[in-house]
Structure 1
Amino acid sequence: MAAKSNFPRPAGFFIRDEISKQHLPVNTGAMQSVFLPSEEDLEKIPDSTPTLIAGNGTPICMYGTATRTISILGCRYHWPFVIREVKFPLLSSDFLGHHGLLVDVGRQRLPDTGTCHSRQLSTGPGMPTICSTAPNSYTSLLQGFPDVFKPELRQSSAASAKHSIFHHITTTGPPTYAKFRRLSPQKLQDAKRAFAEMERMGVCKKASSPWASPLHIVKKSDGS
């Protein structure tokens, strides 16, 4: 049994565990599945070097790893969960991948690749913020001056960027010019979107320079 009995509904996609009566958030972006500590766990001394930090900079206590059994629509799953003192448990990519469970975002279902059955997912208002990086001496500085440490160089979309920084590249000889090369429709759309965003932030602006070089666009491992 977990330490708490009245569990609020978590945010994002979640599914209900029939054993603990908890609503388990399903997050494919996390690598470790997390479970709440039991009464016996809370009596133990937590690890002195927690590796998980909440979004507000608070360290999250860790009580090691323990095998827990959960039941989802009649199917029981055993898994070595990381025991942490967090608000909600978490089903992450390690658990989902091992048991062949996928997340169908469009239909809001959890298909099982082994049995070809699927389970309905519920939704909440939004996921809580958790990061794996501890705050350092620069965190308060960045948070204290949000208008300074931001990607936009302009104060508003209608105002021009105000700064006195200019970069000069000393060159010799005539300008180098490369003829334009056609891009695929998808790459052309992505390039236009990227340049429009940089122009909106004041990072760059349209020019009529005689210098020109070909644009190389490479797809990232995440498909973007």
Structure 2
Amino acid sequence: MAAKSNSPRPAGFFIRDEISKQRLLVDTRAMQSVFPPSKEDLEKIPDSTPTLIAANRTPICTYGTMTRTISILGCRYHWPFVIAEVKFPLLGTDFLGHHVLLVNVGRQRLLDTGTCHSRQLSTRPGMPAICPTAPSGYTSLQQEFPDVFKPELRQSPGASAKHGIFHHITTTGPLTPAKFQRLSAPQKLQDAKLAFAEMERMGACKKALSP
């Protein structure tokens, strides 16, 4: 029989962003994905009501959100990260759940359940957990209607929206001709296509029928 090890198990898993080469903390204990603030962010006034709190119940200052593009597992992902006073960029359960990514704690790997691609995670013990907080008056509503507070506008890709509310912009007059503007780099075109495809999948927009 093997002796039981008393050494601490790793509490933090990291994966490297293939674009920025930064190490991203993959934390299944954190409900919110965050990025550290830049020097420009620190010069701003923090949000008046902290929306993040550490595991020790300490509030974390935030500076709004910013959509960033990261590349892991050979795929590019666009995600609205909360800018907060943390040490490491962090991928929380909001990001992992949305993209159906699974953390295999035993093998210390990150798995894309859609493509079955996986990547080895590096480790670092003793990382603190982060979770979002909400005013107590709204907590019961969030728990009673979880679908309403999801980042998705549709319950599943291709499904019709439940709310039945649609906005239309009625235009008049002839079309104004304009030349197509090419993006300066092929990668920017690919990133733009991915961003619009993601918004279409979430039901935030759809392709126009007219030119």
Q: TM-score, normalised by structure 2?
A: 0.52
Q: Secondary structure of 1:103's partner?
A: strand
Describe how 1:72-221 pairs up with structure 2 within 5 A: 72-128=72-128, 130=130
Q: Does 1:31 align with 2:31?
A: yes
Q: 1:132 to 1:66 in 2, by over 3 A?
A: closer
| Structure 2 gap ranges (5+) | 1-9, 134-211
For residue 53 of structure 1, give the secondary structure of its aligned residue in structure 2: strand
Instruction: State whether residues 62 and 85 of structure 1, in contact with CA within 8 Å, keep that contact through their aligned partners in structure 2.
Output: yes
8 A Cα contact 2:30 2:131, kept in partner: no
* Mapped contact 2:29–2:129 kept (Cα < 8 A): no
Higher relative contact order (CA 8 A, sep 6+): 2
CA offset at residue 18 of structure 1?
2.5
Q: Is the 8 A contact 1:18 1:70 kept in 2?
A: yes
Deviation at 1:129, TM superposition (A): 5.1
Q: 1:49 to 1:76 in 2, by over 3 A?
A: same
Residue identity in the other structure for 2:32: Q
In structure 1, the partner of 2:18 is: 18
Q: Deviations over 1:183-207 (max 9, x none)?
A: xxxxxxxxxxxxxxxxxxxxxxxxx
CA contact (8 A) 1:69 1:79 kept: yes
Partner-residue secondary structure (3-state), 1:95: helix
Per-residue CA deviations over 1:17-56 (Å, capped at 9, x if unaligned) read: 1233321111122211111122332232110221333456
The 1-side partners of 2:80 and 2:28 are apart by 17
Do the aligned partners of 1:110 and 1:121 also contact (CA within 8 Å) in 2?
Answer: yes
Give the aligned partner of residue 157 of structure 1: none
CA distance in 2, matches of 1:62, 1:72: 25
AA matched with 2:34: V
How far apart are 1:97 and its partner, in Å?
1.3
Cα deviations by residue, 1:169-221 (Å, 9 ceiling, x for unpaired):
xxxxxxxxxxxxxxxxxxxxxxxxxxxxxxxxxxxxxxxxxxxxxxxxxxxxx
Q: Distance in 1 between matches of 2:58 and 2:104?
A: 33
Give the AA of the match of 1:25.
L
The one-letter code of the counterpart of 2:93 is: S
Q: Deviations for 1:128-155, whole angstroms, at most 9, x for unmatched residues? A: 255667xxxxxxxxxxxxxxxxxxxxxx
Task: Give the match for residue 69 of structure 1.
Answer: 69
| 1:61-96 residue CA offsets vs partner (Å, 9 max, x unmatched) | 101111011122542111011110111221111101
Q: Is the 8 A contact 1:11 1:25 kept in 2?
A: no
RMSD between aligned residues: 2.5
Q: Cα 1:47–1:124, aligned 2, differ >3 Å: closer, same or farther?
A: same
Q: How many residues end up aligned between the 2 structures?
A: 125
Give the number of the structure whose residues are more often strand, by fraction.
2
Distance 1:102 1:69 in 2: 20
Q: Which runs of 5+ in 1 are unaligned?
A: 1-9, 134-224
> What amino acid is the match of 1:18?
E
Amino acid paired to 1:88 = F
Secondary structure at 2:41's aligned position in 1?
helix
